Amino acid sequence: MRAGLLSLLFPPRCAACGDLLRFEGFGGGEIPALCPGCAKQWASEKLQSCGRCGRPVCECRCLTEELSGAGCAGLCKLVYYINGRQPPVQNRMLYHMKNTADRRLAGFLAAELEAPVRALLREAGAAPEQTVLTFVPRSRQAVLRTGTDQALQLARALSARLGLPLQTAVRRRRNARRSQKTMRKQERRQNARRAYRLCRKTDLHGKTVLLVDDIATTGASMAAVARLLRRAGASSICCAAVASDDRNQSLGLRPPGVVQ
């Protein structure tokens, strides 16, 4: 009743195109994150093939070069972030998530990630009682500007679905203000390694850690955090993101478990 009333007073919109979603009445059930048209496009984008393993991207575990070098066990992702053309549905969803504290979208993406993440943890031999979930934190300036930390929102929703404890293991350094998206590969790596620090008293000895972020471009940020998690004693690190950059679709990929 309450959800229906809120939907009537504040009509929900599609998280990708912004169109109003159809009001289903006071007993209409859960409100979707996407309109029918965007949902169809999203389903199609999930079936894009990885050029390395040949699987649909939503079933792919291939690591970026950075994540492979950090010794991660595998990377779950749902879609490829597409560069150089009119923004497709996933680009618009990611932009919306970065700029709006939309729990409905975070819940939808967590539900989409649940099955591939469970499969990756199973393949890594992770025992549920020895597994924790953490995230790549956003800068304080970005959180103040947008009102949200998209990786934290996604991690909370995924933690609830998986029944895994969520731990803030890493923080951004106060002077880490440069944006990764404008940098070249080597610059991303150097900037990321300076940007994060372990939280005090972080102890992950013997733990499998599920590391969550919204997008893995080169994977430099996730790799920098993964190295810190290793320093804190993590025995294995599995990664999950909504998207991987389309430059990773067929170039420079290595199968899981191959460490440079």
In this predicted model, what pLDDT tens digit does every residue of 115-133 receive, in sequence order? 999 999 999 999 999 999 9
Question: In the beta sheet, which residues pair with residue 131?
Answer: 208
| Residue whose structure tokens are 């939907």 | 7
Residues 42, 159, 171, 119, Cα dihedral to 10°: -60
| Residue whose structure tokens are 């920098």 | 224
Integer CA distances (angstroms), 225 to 17, 49, 137, 155, 249, in order: 33, 28, 9, 15, 23
Which pLDDT score, from 0 to 100, does residue 72 have?
97
Which pLDDT score, from 0 to 100, does residue 178 have?
56
Which pLDDT score, from 0 to 100, does residue 86 have?
77
For residues 142 and 178, give the distance between their C-alpha atoms in angstroms, rounded to a whole number.
Answer: 11
Helix (H, G, I), strand (E, B) or coil at 172: strand
Which pLDDT score, from 0 to 100, does residue 2 have?
47
If we measure between CA atoms, which residue out of 115, 51, 107 comes closest to residue 253? 51
- Burial of 61 from C-beta contacts in 10 A (0-12 / 13-18 / 19+): buried
If we measure between CA atoms, which residue out of 239, 241, 247 comes closest to residue 74? 239
What is the number of other CB atoms lying within 10 angstroms of the CB of residue 99? 14
Residues 6+ away with beta carbon under 8 Å from 259: 68, 69, 71
Helix (H, G, I), strand (E, B) or coil at 170: strand
Ranges of the chain whose pLDDT falls below 70 = 1-10, 23-29, 176-189, 251-260
The answer to whether 208 and 130 have CB atoms below 8 angstroms apart is: yes
Integer CA distances (angstroms), 192 to 109, 172, 186, 202, in order: 25, 10, 10, 20
pTM of the model as a whole:
0.88
Backbone Cα Rg of the chain: 18
Structural domains in the chain, sorted by start:
52-248 (3.40.50)
Which pLDDT score, from 0 to 100, does residue 192 have?
80
Which pLDDT score, from 0 to 100, does residue 157 have?
98
Q: What is the DSSP string of 227-245?
A: HHHHHTT-SEEEEEEEEEE
For residues 85 and 87, give the distance between their C-alpha atoms in angstroms, rounded to a whole number.
Answer: 6
Integer CA distances (angstroms), 10 to 3, 53, 140, 153, 191, in order: 10, 44, 29, 21, 41
Which pLDDT score, from 0 to 100, does residue 193 have?
77
Which pLDDT score, from 0 to 100, does residue 258 have?
38
Which pLDDT score, from 0 to 100, does residue 180 have?
53
If we measure between CA atoms, which residue out of 210, 216, 253 comes closest to residue 55? 253
